[in-house]
């Protein structure tokens, strides 16, 4: 490559980084005040011209302020490599110095959002695990520099001194556009719809809060109530609404999947998985084998017919990271065929002998408990119908909801299964979808046995496995079995010498 | 189901059912009761103040029920904690530490030493009077829910901490 950068002295990012930081700052501001901006534009015509000058001036001031801020952030963001430490100093007024030893670095990932793609720079994220708070994101580096930095850090990783200079390797998995479409069409659309709903609710909340503050809530409420009463009167509208909902659901799945997994390519190199994916935000992730805590292989009935599943990898997270970062550490690849699943299992030392072991079920108590719990929902609901409504038509809802609930519980119980071989525990769960989580015993951090007073009478217990990437639960199994697994897990953890991370 | 493992059973196979758990220090019950009483007093004072300043003549008849409710809730809490106290037990073994508690919701937790990230000892104000301490053992991941043993003598807590630290380093 003929690189001059060796990172021995303090280095700044690529100068293009100013632009990336700038746009990032502006985006944050925009996100915070977009509703106000929207209102402002609406009233734009009513503002007199001499006031307009001030407003333009103010906007220009804001833009300039953040440009200077972006420049200062850029100027003060410097990093170098000193022996086996990555050293970073940053901060405009409050200077911070961070030093990370190489063996604490879990991953080095490249990422490119749309702006970074246009100006051709890469964002480098250095992930650490454990209790340190440091998660470093270098916003803009030229590809060669990014690669050099990564090599400089990983070269000290003595376990992997084998030079990986095999170019043009055949990808282990590559998902083309058509295949991706197939994946997205068979997604759980209900889930996509819920996700979309959650986003819209958040969106709506923001608008509502604002109108609330401005004392205009009534107008919105009135608008909504007028429209809903119109909805109720027309059956056609309801049907239309349902069709629209279905289309929205399918469309949102397609968009979500295509944006996230566009051009998904996976390589297996040196016991690590290299994953590249994304349309507007390109991401490249290297998953080292021993950093993976557990994997979940999931499919649904339609995907099963097509013979595809998706795999979710979970890496270690530290207790203090916020929700968003936790999500970053969950990596999903889609459209895997049986052959690829087997290879990944092999990579993670999940032996095929596990397949031959039959699954064990949870105790029937789990099913009964869910039926009993449902009474606490359905009885008050019907009482509400009885006392709260004048018409009795509402009771028809029961005909729809109760069978749906019963079927859900049936599948929930049927799919709540587990099995284990000498080294690996496999937990199955799901209602519509089928999820199988594979957890090697030695990755368990601590184990809990829980029993309510009702469970005690039936002699069943819940088992909870705490791993570095979250909890896994086997609910309601016979106490004897639970005790056996409890003791066996402890035995496996305590006699293991492998590092879990 | 055990067929698969019969050849691996080692003589030191740990069995959680066969170990003797130690009850936590009896004095800790006083600490718990003091803590609950403190909450009770604070709520009571709050309620009385509320009563004097806001409730004056609005609902004179129902007033008594609110007080009764508060007292009942706290009586229930006292009973639960007093009965539950004898169920709080811990065990320190060669390779792991366990704690169990609960009457309505029983819970047993075991943390193997080779997964321990760090150990903390802390003392509340009441615990300090009785020379008691709590020891918390943290593992990786979401560490909010790891093992915490409250109500052991401070010397014991320090001993346990050193014992585990030695095991980790050694």
CA distance A133 to chain B (A): 13
Tell me which of A453 and A149 has the higher pLDDT. Answer: A453
- Lowest mean pLDDT segment, chosen from A8-17, A201-210, B95-104, B128-137: A201-210
Please compute the mean of the pLDDT values over residues A420-432 and round it to a whole number. Answer: 91
Which residues of chain A are within 8 Å of residue B142 when distances are taken between CB atoms? 317, 319, 466, 470-471
Tell me which of A35 and A306 has the higher pLDDT. Answer: A306
Which residues of chain A are within 8 Å of residue B139 when distances are taken between CB atoms? 445-446, 466, 468
CA pair distance A467, A454, nearest whole angstrom = 27
CA pair distance A106, A134, nearest whole angstrom = 11
- pLDDT at B7 > cutoff 50: no
User: Which three-class secondary structure state does DSSP give residue A468?
Assistant: coil
Q: Complex ipTM, two decimals?
A: 0.85
Specify the pLDDT at position A233. 58
CA pair distance A286, A164, nearest whole angstrom = 13
CA distance A483 to chain B (A): 8
- pLDDT at A335 > cutoff 60: yes
Minimum-distance CB partner of B109 among A131, A357, A448: A448
- pLDDT at A18 > cutoff 70: yes
Specify the pLDDT at position B56. 62
Minimum-distance CB partner of A487 among B13, B109, B138: B13
Query: Which band of pLDDT confidence, cut at 50, 70 and 90, is reported for residue A424?
Result: very high
Minimum-distance CB partner of B110 among A447, A456, A496: A447
Look at B105 and A486 and tell me if their CB atoms are within 8 Å: no
Query: Which band of pLDDT confidence, cut at 50, 70 and 90, is reported for residue A167?
Result: very low
Specify the pLDDT at position B3. 43
The alpha-carbon radius of gyration of chain B (Å, integer) is 22
Look at A445 and B106 and tell me if their CB atoms are within 8 Å: no
User: Considering chain B, what is the average pLDDT of its residues?
Assistant: 84
Please compute the mean of the pLDDT values over residues A14-28 and round it to a whole number. Answer: 89
Specify the pLDDT at position B51. 80
Specify the pLDDT at position A222. 60
Tokens coding B149 = 């043993």
Look at A445 and B111 and tell me if their CB atoms are within 8 Å: yes
Query: Which band of pLDDT confidence, cut at 50, 70 and 90, is reported for residue A327?
Result: low
Cα separations in angstroms, B14 against B6, B9, B92, B94, B110: 15, 10, 12, 10, 11
Specify the pLDDT at position B151. 92
Phi, psi at A54, each rounded to 5°: -60, -40
Closest chain B CA to residue A454: B104
Please compute the mean of the pLDDT values over residues B109-123 and round it to a whole number. Answer: 90
Specify the pLDDT at position A162. 43
Please compute the mean of the pLDDT values over residues B141-163 and round it to a whole number. Answer: 86
Decide if A139 contacts A13 (C-beta within 8 A): yes
Specify the pLDDT at position A134. 52
Q: Class of the A17-160 domain? A: mainly beta
Which residues of chain A are within 8 Å of residue B117 when distances are taken between CB atoms? 130-131
Query: Which band of pLDDT confidence, cut at 50, 70 and 90, is reported for residue A320?
Result: low
Interval B44-94: pLDDT, tens: 999 888 888 776 666 666 778 888 999 999 999 999 999 999 999 999 988
User: Considering chain A, what is the average pLDDT of its residues?
Assistant: 82
Closest chain B CA to residue A500: B115
Q: Where in chain A is the domain with CATH 2.30.29.30?
A: 17-160, 349-501
Q: Does domain A349-501 have CATH number 2.40.50.140?
A: no
Find which of B99, B115, B168 to mutate to test the A interface (most A CBs within 10 Å of its CB). B115
Which residues of chain A are within 8 Å of residue B107 when distances are taken between CB atoms? 448-451
Specify the pLDDT at position B60. 64
Which residues of chain B are within 8 Å of residue A319 when distances are taken between CB atoms? 138, 140-144
Specify the pLDDT at position B111. 93
CA distance A325 to chain B (A): 13
Tell me which of A193 and A69 has the higher pLDDT. Answer: A69
Q: From edge to edge, which strands make up the β-sheet containing A105-112? A: A136-141, A122-128, A105-112, A282-288, A272-277, A265-269, A173-174
Specify the pLDDT at position B80. 92
Query: Which band of pLDDT confidence, cut at 50, 70 and 90, is reported for residue A271?
Result: confident
Which residues of chain A are at the B interface, by a Cβ-Cβ cutoff of 8 Å? 129-131, 316-319, 357, 360, 421-422, 444-453, 456, 466-471, 481, 483-484, 486-488, 490-491, 493-496, 500-501
Specify the pLDDT at position B48. 87
Beta-strand runs (E) in A337-459: 360-361, 417-420, 424-429, 434-440, 444-452
Query: Which band of pLDDT confidence, cut at 50, 70 and 90, is reported for residue A160?
Result: very low
Look at A493 and B114 and tell me if their CB atoms are within 8 Å: yes
Quick count: other Cβ atoms within 10 Å of Cβ A217? 14
Specify the pLDDT at position A224. 57
Specify the pLDDT at position A214. 58
Please compute the mean of the pLDDT values over residues A218-244 and round it to a whole number. Answer: 66
- pLDDT at B12 > cutoff 70: no
Decide if A292 contacts A298 (C-beta within 8 A): no
- Lowest mean pLDDT segment, chosen from A34-38, A208-212, B145-149: A208-212
- pLDDT at A158 > cutoff 70: no
- Lowest mean pLDDT segment, chosen from A128-132, A269-273, B104-108: A128-132
Characterize B63-85 residue by residue with b for buried, 16 or more Cβ atoms within 10 angstroms of its Cβ, and e for exposed. eeeeeeeeeeebeeeeeebeebb
Size of interface A-B (CB pairs under 8 A): 113
Characterize A235-256 residue by residue with b for buried, 16 or more Cβ atoms within 10 angstroms of its Cβ, and e for exposed. eeeeeeeeeeeeeebbebbbeb
Please compute the mean of the pLDDT values over residues A398-404 and round it to a whole number. Answer: 87
Specify the pLDDT at position B163. 92
Show Cβ contacts of residue A341 under 8 Å, excluding neighbours closer than 6 positions. A297, A309, A311
């Amino acid at each position: 490559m003929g690189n001059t950068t060796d990172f021995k002295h303090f280095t700044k990012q690529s100068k293009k980084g100013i632009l990336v930081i700038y746009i990032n700052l502006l985006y944050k501001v925009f996100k915070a005040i977009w509703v106000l901006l929207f209102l402002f534009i609406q009233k734009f015509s009513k503002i007199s011209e001499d006031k307009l000058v001030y407003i333009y001036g103010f906007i220009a001031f804001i833009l300039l302020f953040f440009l200077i801020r972006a420049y200062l952030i850029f100027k003060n963001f410097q990093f170098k490599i000193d022996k086996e430490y990555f050293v970073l100093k940053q901060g405009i007024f409050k200077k911070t110095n961070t030093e990370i030893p190489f063996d604490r670095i879990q991953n080095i990932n490249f990422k490119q959002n749309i702006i970074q793609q246009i100006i051709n720079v890469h964002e480098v994220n250095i992930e650490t695990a454990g209790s340190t708070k440091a998660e470093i994101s270098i916003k803009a580096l030229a590809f060669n520099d990014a690669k050099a930095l990564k090599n400089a850090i990983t070269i000290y990783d003595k376990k992997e001194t084998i030079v990986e200079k095999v170019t043009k390797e055949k990808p282990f998995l590559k998902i083309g556009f058509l295949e991706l479409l197939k994946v997205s069409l068979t997604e759980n659309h209900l889930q996509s719809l819920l996700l979309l709903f959650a986003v819209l609710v958040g969106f709506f909340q923001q608008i509502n809060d604002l109108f609330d503050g401005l004392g205009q809530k009534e107008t919105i409420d009135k608008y909504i109530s007028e429209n809903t009463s119109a909805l109720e009167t027309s059956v056609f509208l309801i049907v239309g609404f349902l069709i629209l909902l279905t289309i929205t659901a399918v469309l949102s799945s397609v968009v979500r999947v295509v944006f996230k997994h566009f051009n998904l390519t996976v390589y297996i190199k040196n016991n690590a998985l290299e994953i590249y994916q994304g349309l507007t935000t390109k991401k490249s992730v290297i998953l080292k084998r021993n950093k993976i805590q557990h994997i979940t292989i999931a499919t649904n009935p339609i995907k099963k017919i097509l013979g595809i599943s998706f795999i979710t990898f979970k890496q270690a997270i530290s207790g203090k990271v916020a929700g968003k970062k936790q999500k970053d550490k969950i990596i999903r690849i889609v459209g895997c065929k049986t052959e690829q699943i087997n290879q990944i299992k092999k990579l993670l030392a999940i032996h095929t002998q596990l397949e031959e072991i039959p699954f064990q079920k949870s105790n029937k108590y789990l099913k009964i408990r869910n039926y009993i719990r449902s009474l606490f929902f359905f009885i008050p609901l019907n009482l509400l119908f009885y006392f709260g409504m004048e018409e009795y038509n509402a009771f028809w809802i029961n005909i729809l909801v109760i069978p749906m609930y019963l079927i859900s519980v049936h599948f929930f119980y049927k799919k709540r299964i587990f099995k284990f071989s000498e080294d690996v525990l496999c937990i199955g769960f799901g209602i519509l979808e089928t999820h199988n989580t594979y957890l090697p015993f030695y990755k368990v951090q601590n184990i809990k046995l829980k029993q309510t007073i009702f469970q005690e009478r039936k002699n069943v217990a819940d088992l909870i496995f705490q791993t570095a990437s979250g909890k896994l639960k086997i609910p309601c199994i016979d106490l004897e079995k639970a005790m056996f697994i409890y003791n066996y897990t402890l035995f496996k953890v305590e006699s293991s010498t492998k590092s879990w991370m | 189901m055990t067929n698969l493992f019969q050849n691996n059973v080692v003589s030191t196979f740990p069995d959680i059912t066969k170990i003797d758990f130690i009850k936590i220090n009896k004095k800790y019950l006083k600490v718990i009761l003091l803590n609950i009483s403190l909450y009770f007093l604070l709520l009571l004072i709050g309620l009385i103040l509320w009563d004097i300043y806001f409730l004056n003549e609005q609902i004179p008849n129902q007033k008594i029920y609110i007080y009764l409710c508060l007292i009942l809730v706290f009586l229930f809490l006292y009973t639960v904690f007093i009965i539950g106290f004898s169920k709080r037990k811990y065990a320190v073994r060669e390779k792991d530490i366990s704690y169990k508690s609960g009457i309505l919701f029983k819970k047993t937790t075991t943390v193997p030493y080779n997964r321990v990230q760090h150990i903390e000892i802390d003392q509340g104000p009441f615990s300090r009077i009785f020379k008691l301490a709590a020891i918390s053992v943290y593992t990786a991941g979401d560490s909010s829910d790891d093992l915490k043993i409250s109500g052991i003598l401070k010397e014991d807590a320090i001993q346990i901490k050193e014992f585990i630290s030695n095991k980790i380093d050694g």
